[in-house]
Each structure stands twice: as C-alpha cells, then as structure tokens.
Structure 1
Amino acid sequence: MRSSDSQDPVGEVVGAGAAESAQAQPHEPSGIHRPTHRWGFGAFLFVEGVLLATAAFVGVFIGEATPETIPVRDVLIGTMAPTMLAALSALAITKVRGNGPLADLCLAWRWDDVKVGLKFGALGLVCTVVGVLVWTQVVGEDNATSAIGALVEDKPMSVSAAVTMFVYLWLLGPICEEIIYRGLLWGAAERLGWGSERWGRFAAFVLSTAVFAVSHLEPLRTSLLIVIAIPIGLARLVTGRLLGSIVAHQMNNFLPALAILLTALGVLAT
C-alpha cells in the first residue's frame, strides 16, 4: 500500500494535460479543443467572389429590366441564388481544406445557444426598430426601402412565391449569411490570432460586423446594417459557436420578412 501523500506520476501528467487543454480553449463551453483548419482569408475572398459573380450573372440574365418589370421568378432567383451558392462554396471549402463545417464553423446544436440567440435576437429587434426610425428620419422615407423591398414593391406574387420569399428571408438566408460571415470570415480572423485569443475573437467580431454591412452593397443602409449586425455578432462572440448568431439573425429577420410577405400578397399597402 502507498501512503496518501505519495506521488502519482501518471495522475500528475493527466491532470496537467487536462489543465492545459482547459486553458487552451477558455471560450469553448464544452472544453473541447477544436482542430485547426487550413483555410483563411483567401477562402473567404473566394466565397465572396462567388457571391458577387453569381449576382453579376443574374444581373446580366435579367438585362435592363426595372424593378417594376422584373418577373417574380427572376426576383426569387436574384435574391436567393448568390448567397446560397456562396454558402455552399464555404461548406465545400471546410470539407476540402479543413475538418468539415461542424468543426471549422463551430456548428453544433445546443439549447443554451438557442436561448442566447433568442435573447440577442430580441435585443436586435429593438435596435432595428429604433435604428430604422432614426435612419428614416435622416435619409427620408423615399430612400428608406431596402433593395429587396424595392423589388417586391407594387409586385403582386402568388402565394407560393410569396411564401418562398418569406421562408428564405426569415430562415434560410440567415443560415447562409452566417456561414459566410460569422463562420468562414470569423474563422479566418481567429486563425490569425491578433496577438491573443481574446483579441482574436474581438477582432473577428468587429471585422465580420463591418464586412457583413458593407457586403450588402447598399451604401445608404450601411450604418443601419451595422446596428442590426452588432447583436447578431455578440451572440456568436458570447457562445463561441455559430448557432447562437443564426438564431439571433433569424429572429431579427422575422418582422421584415413578414412585412415583405404581406406586401407581396397585397395585404399591406406600399
């Protein structure tokens, strides 16, 4: 028998390794070390190029049509195709150059993340409502319409087309955008380190928020989009995973998507 104060070399090594692992990933609630991926900003630039190239191709396909004359089918394609193809490209990159989307983009189902996302989504709704009111006063009501809002304005849709647009704007679009900006771009920024892990996460939050706002290519709405994006980014920052920001983004998009649905069906007057 060994005395109670005797040393256990194996236990000391295991304990030290566990302590080092816990210190290595303090932002991971599960304490699990995430494997390092091999992609960075080049991957994000490629995906952003896919988005812009697809949007340009759709623009050429539509031709010189005005928002009033664009067919509903083309409105749906132009709204959905660029972001969806870009998101699929991002997922493919994580498979080819990394460890897959679950590991590289921090995609995991956790009810705690859903709850955090709902809280920041509620905060985002308040920020959005206040931001829209202030922004409308600054730019005027005539300039306060989003690009998608301008496309569906005075354009009656069938129920199936309107519901498709609603589901995309509310649920699918936020998933795609979060994969691109707070998944791929966030991971590229974190990979640089920026001096420390904490500053790396903060830099990823700031960069993804700014790029998300600018990438919508609506200069007049950029400041408003930054206000909208901050609570969404905070959900990603707090949880350390993508699900929280997806839920926050979806919650934030619900009312605008519902307004576009009712407008497209002719329930709300433009």
Structure 2
Amino acid sequence: MSRRPNPAAEGLGTAGPPFGGPGRSDVEVRQLGAMAPTQRVVLAIVGFIGGVLAASALAGLVVSSTGWELSVPASIGSELGRTVRQVGQAAPLDDHRVPAAWLAVVNAPLWLGLAGAPLLARRAGLSWRRDLGWGMSAIDIPVGLALGVTTQFVLIPLYEVIFLFFGEQDVSGPARSLVASVDSPLDLLGLLVITVVMAPLTEEIAYRGLLFGGIRDMERGHVGSGVVIAAVVSSVIFAASHFQLIQFPGLFVFGLVAVTAFHRTGRLATAIWAHVGFNLTTVVLLLWA
C-alpha cells in the first residue's frame, strides 16, 4: 500500500571560513605533523566499512541467538496480517522485532568505526579542532535544530514531485519500523540514543568532518568548485550509506544542508544539532502518531 510523503520519513552558499587554515599540500601537511586530506578521506571510508562489517556480524549473532528479526514491516496492513495469522495458529502475539535497546547495542560497532577511527588517528596527527572543525557556540543549538526541523518539512514537496514520476512509495517505512521496536522505557531510551545522540554525533564526524573536509582540502586548487564537489560527493556517500533507495533523495538534501551549516560556521556542532533536529522530528511525529 502506498503512502503519502511524511516529514517523519526522512533518516550551498558561498564559502565560509576555513576549518584548518589555508590549504596546504600533502607534503607540507606531513612536515607539520598533521594528517593529509587524502588520509582523512581514507580514514572515513575505512571506519565506515569496518563499522558496518562489525555491526553486521554482531547483528547476525543476536538474531541467531534470539530468533528476532531485523526487518519487520510496520505498516497497518502488515501488523494486522501478522496478528490474524498468529491468532489463527494459536501462536503468541509477537512481532519478533529486535527491541530498540538491543538495536542500540547492535549499532555500537558502527559508531565505534565512524568516531573511533578518528579518535585513534589523533596519534597520527589528526587534530579534531583543526581538521574536523570540532567546537561549539551557543548559537549552534537553535540554528542547527531549526535547520534540521525545517528540512524535514521542505522534503514533502520534493517527494510529491518524485512520486509523480515514479509512483508513491512508503517513505516512512524504515523509520516507522524502528519506532515500532519500542516496547518499554528502556527501548525508548535506546531509540533516543540511536536517533538523536549517536547517529548525529558519529555521522557528522565521519561524513562532514572527515569526508567533506578531506575532499574539500584535496580540491583546494579549485576555490569555488572544490567546495561544491566536496559537498556533493560527501552527501551522496552519506545518503547511500543508509542503504534505503527511497530515502536517498531526502538524505542527500539533508547532507547538503549539514555541509552548508558546517562550512558557513566552521563548526561541526552546527551540523550535529541540525542532524539532531532532523532525526528528532521523525521520532516525535511517529511516536505521536
């Protein structure tokens, strides 16, 4: 059954101040004892791949040990059909979803890969303040939250246009399934840890701090287009890394918003708070519904 776009479905301006000072060649960077841009890009990719592989292995272990399922449809029709089938078979009424608290545990290796790799890389010369724009101002909170919430609602007309050409899709399915895994206060805590704490923090470190910053510095010779190239490439990778084709356009747009916030302020915190607002809108609206 198709569904209309819902703001809960979604999970460049001029160049701003540089994060790490004027662009330097990889040789100059190494002479300064810092981490080269290419190394930062590789670090982001390796951290993501390693995190995904480790999280997948842990998920497989949890599923095989408990009988839970990672992917359970959460539409009204799916829920009703499963309930009728279980009643007819005199089986316990159980959706077999992995509880949200356990999903937080399963995702821990991914977060460790995204943020743990740059933490270890400090020994190799990676400076979080210089290379990742690590820092925060009080204004980052309201500005970031406003950007994230607004982006959710801006995506509604975007998906209306997409559906005109490709037909309606259940955009909110993955997010609705995640919220449906909440059955206890501990699960609610797990959901919040996943969506509004760890995902914004670790993904912004990896995709905006390491990946965008690294590509931007690699393209330092192309003053204007280098920023655009870095923004587009990092946003494409960010959207693709969620493995949800229908959510790709929305995630790509949000990636551009987060990049812009980061680039204009020079602080990663602006993008992190935008990510919090973006995800929190999803959680609040789906829990309310």
TM bin (shorter chain) = 0.7 to 0.9
The one-letter code of the counterpart of 1:74 is W
Show the counterpart of 1:84: 111
Show the counterpart of 2:144: 117
Tell me which of 227, 230, 234 is aligned to 1:201: 227
CA distance in 1, matches of 2:109, 2:129: 23
Show the counterpart of 1:23: none
Identify if the C-alpha distance between structure 1 residues 253 and 136 changes in structure 2 by more than 3 Å, giving closer, same or farther.
farther
CA distance in 2, matches of 1:191, 1:244: 20
The one-letter code of the counterpart of 1:226 is F
The one-letter code of the counterpart of 2:251 is L
Tell me which of 209, 216, 219 is aligned to 1:190: 216
Show the counterpart of 1:51: 51
Asked if the contact 2:43/2:118 (under 8 Å) is kept, the reply is no
Show the counterpart of 1:210: 236
Calculate percent identity across the aligned residue pairs. 22
CA distance in 2, matches of 1:104, 1:166: 29
Q: Residue 220 in 1 paired to residue 209 in 2?
A: no
TM-align CA RMSD: 3.0
Q: Residue 28 in 1 paired to residue 17 in 2?
A: yes
Tell me which of 260, 276, 280 is aligned to 1:234: 260
The one-letter code of the counterpart of 1:77 is V
- For 1:135-155, what per-residue CA distance to the aligned partner results, in whole angstroms no more than 9, with x for missing partners? 6775535x32343432443x4
DSSP 3-state at the match of 1:200:
helix
Asked if the contact 1:43/1:93 (under 8 Å) is kept, the reply is no
Gaps of 5+ in 2: 1-14, 24-31, 73-94
Q: Residue 147 in 1 paired to residue 145 in 2?
A: no
Instruction: Using the TM superposition, give the Cα deviation of residue 194 of structure 1 relative to its aligned residue in structure 2, in angstroms.
Output: 5.0
CA distance in 1, matches of 2:43, 2:18: 27
Q: Residue 108 in 1 paired to residue 106 in 2?
A: no
Instruction: Indicate the structure (1 or 2) with the bigger Cα radius of gyration.
Output: 1
DSSP 3-state at the match of 1:40:
helix
Given the two structures, how large is their TM-score scaled by the length of structure 2? 0.69
Tell me which of 154, 159, 163 is aligned to 1:127: 154
Instruction: Using the TM superposition, give the Cα deviation of residue 192 of structure 1 relative to its aligned residue in structure 2, in angstroms.
Output: 0.9
CA distance in 2, matches of 1:74, 1:139: 35
- For 1:139-186, what per-residue CA distance to the aligned partner results, in whole angstroms no more than 9, with x for missing partners? 535x32343432443x45111221331243123311111011001111
Identify if the C-alpha distance between structure 1 residues 152 and 197 changes in structure 2 by more than 3 Å, giving closer, same or farther.
same
Tell me which of 103, 119, 125 is aligned to 1:75: 103
Size of the alignment, in residue pairs?
Answer: 235
Instruction: Using the TM superposition, give the Cα deviation of residue 31 of structure 1 relative to its aligned residue in structure 2, in angstroms.
Output: 9.8
Identify if the C-alpha distance between structure 1 residues 71 and 31 changes in structure 2 by more than 3 Å, giving closer, same or farther.
closer
DSSP 3-state at the match of 2:134:
coil
**Which segment is superposed worse, 234-243 or 188-197?**
188-197
Show the counterpart of 1:19: none
DSSP 3-state at the match of 1:216:
coil
Asked if the contact 2:200/2:272 (under 8 Å) is kept, the reply is yes
